[in-house]
Amino acid sequence: MSNINLIDSFQEFKDFKNIDRPTMMSVLEDVFRSMIRKKYGNDENCDVIVNTDNGDLEIWRTRIVMEDGFSEDDDLEIELAEAKTLDPDLEVGDEYIEQITLESFGRRAILAARQTLVSKILELEKDEIFKKYKDRVGEIVTGEVYQVWKKETLVLDDEGNELLLPKSEQIPADYFKKGDSVKAVVSKVDMLNSNPKIIISRTAPEFLQRLFEQEVPEIFDGLITIKKIVREPGERAKVAVESYDDRIDPVGACVGMKGSRIHGIVRELKNENIDVINYTNNLQLYIQRALSPAKITSIKLDDEKKTAAVYLKPDQVSLAIGRGGHNIKLAGKLTGYEIDVYREADEQDEDVDIEEFSDEIESWILDEFKRIGLDTAKSVLALTVGELVKRTDLEEETVKEVLSILQAEFE
C-alpha cells in the first residue's frame, strides 16, 4: 500500500537513539489507533500491523455481516446486501475483513498524525536519556567538547547527547577548546522543562575514586577499599585505603612501581598532589598519617570537641600546614577532627644559632658575641644588658636592640 508522508520518515524514527523496538511499535500503533477512533468512533474491531524495518503499515477492519435493515452500528456491522457487493460468498454472521488505506483518512489527518508521532518519539527519547543517565550517576563518561562558554562547557557523548560541565565543576587548571576529549563523572541528572539536564564533574571525590578503580585492578576487584577521599581540586587530595588481605600493601598497589599507576591519575587531574595513606581505626596514628609528609612528635585528642592538638619540631610545622593551608585542611576533613598545630616546646630544639640572624644583625656585632662564647640566641638572652655591655665592646643601645630581635624570635 502507499504509505504517503507519514511512513516516509519511518527510517528516521527507527534510527532514534535509546528507543527499543517494542516501544517504537507501541507508539506507532497508538498514533494510528487514534486516527481510526477519530474517523470511525471505535478501534476495537481494527488490527494495526506495523513493520518498523521497512515502514510497511497495514490496518485491517473487521465487521459482522447482518441481515438487511438489522445493522445498528455501521462501524461494527455491515448489511448483507452491501457485503455481497464486496464479496458474493459472504453470509449473515460472517466476518467481513477489509483493509483501510492511509489515503482514506485524508491529508490533514495524516499530517496531524505525523506531527503527533514526531512529538511522542522526541518525548520518549528524552525520557530514555534521562533514565539512562540517572542510572549512571557516579560513573565516568568520556565526551567531546562541542562549545565553550564563560560559565560552562557543552560536551557531547558518543551518541550525541548533551552533557554540561559547569566552571565550578572544572579543575582550576582545566582549559578546553572545541574537539577536545573530556573525562568526567556524572554528578547530577534533572528534568528541566521536559529536557534532561546532565551535569558532569571533574572536581567531585567520586571522579578521583573512579580513576583509581580504572588504574588499580585491586580496587576494581574489591581487594582494596577506598575508605574516604578529600580533595582541593587541582591542588591536593588525600585518599585513605584499606586492604582486607594482609599480603597486599594498599598504598604500594595504588601508587604502582615507580609511581606508574598514580602518574596517570595525577596527569588527568592537572598535577594534583595525591597522598595515599593506610586507613586505621587508631585515631592518633590516622591523624599522623593524614598530616603526611610532616613528622609528628605527639598528639593530644579531645574526643568531645573533636579537636586534635598536634606538636611538631619547628622545621615540620610548614610541612604539616602545607602550601595555602591545604595539607592541614584536608587532614581535618579526612579524620573528622579539627587539627591545631603547635611547635614542640623543647628548649634545645628551639634554640637558634645567632648566625641565623645575620640578615637583621650586622656580622661584626655577631662576631663580638661569639668572641665571648655566646653562639646561640638563648645564651645571649640568658645575660643582662649590663653584663653584655661589660663583657663586649658594644654600646648599651646596640645590646638592647639585639636582645629585642632575639626575644621576638621566641615570642
DSSP 42-90: --TTEEEEEETTTTEEEEEEEEEEE-TT----TTTEEEHHHHHHH-TT-
**Pairing, β 236-243 against β 273-278:** parallel
Domain boundary assignment for the chain: 4-131, 136-201, 211-279, 351-410
pLDDT at 199: 96
Grid cell of 31 as nine digits: 498514533
DSSP 334-390: HHTSEEEEEE---HHHH--BGGGGTTTS-HHHHHHHHHTT--BHHHHHTS-HHHHHH
Q: Cα(379)–Cα(337) distance, rounded to whole angstroms?
A: 39
Q: Cα(106)–Cα(216) distance, rounded to whole angstroms?
A: 64
- Domain range 211-279, CATH architecture: 2-Layer Sandwich (3.30)
Q: Cα(104)–Cα(4) distance, rounded to whole angstroms?
A: 11
Q: What is the pTM for the complete model shown?
A: 0.65
pLDDT at 5: 45
Class of domain 351-410: mainly alpha
The secondary structure of residue 204, as a DSSP letter, is S
Which amino acid, one-letter code, is at 50? V
Q: Which secondary-structure segment (H or E) carries 399?
A: helix 396-410
Tell me the CA distances in angstroms from 364 to 361, 376, 394, 405, one per residue in order: 9, 15, 10, 16
Interhelix angle 107-134/21-40, nearest 10 degrees = 150
Tell me the CA distances in angstroms from 355 to 184, 395, 411, one per residue in order: 53, 20, 19
Pick 136-201's CATH classification: 2.40.50.140, 2.102.10.10, 1.20.120.450, 3.30.2010.10. Answer: 2.40.50.140
Q: In this structure, are residues 340 and 308 in contact, taking their beta carbons and an 8 Å threshold?
A: yes
- Domain range 4-131, CATH architecture: 2-Layer Sandwich (3.30)
Which amino acid, one-letter code, is at 133? Y
Q: What is the pLDDT along the chain (411 residues), one digit of tens a residue?
A: 344 444 444 555 555 555 666 777 777 788 888 888 888 877 888 888 877 565 567 888 888 888 887 777 777 888 888 888 888 888 888 888 888 887 778 788 878 877 887 788 888 888 888 999 999 999 999 999 999 999 999 999 998 899 999 999 999 999 999 999 999 999 999 998 888 999 999 999 999 999 999 999 999 999 999 999 999 999 999 999 999 888 899 999 999 998 899 999 999 999 999 999 999 999 999 999 999 888 898 999 998 989 999 998 877 888 888 888 899 999 999 999 999 988 775 544 567 788 878 878 888 888 888 888 788 888 888 888 888 888 888 889 998 998 988 888 776
Q: In this structure, are residues 312 and 298 in contact, taking their beta carbons and an 8 Å threshold?
A: no
Given phi > 0 = left and psi -120 to 50 = alpha, else beta, which region is 258? left
pLDDT at 378: 85
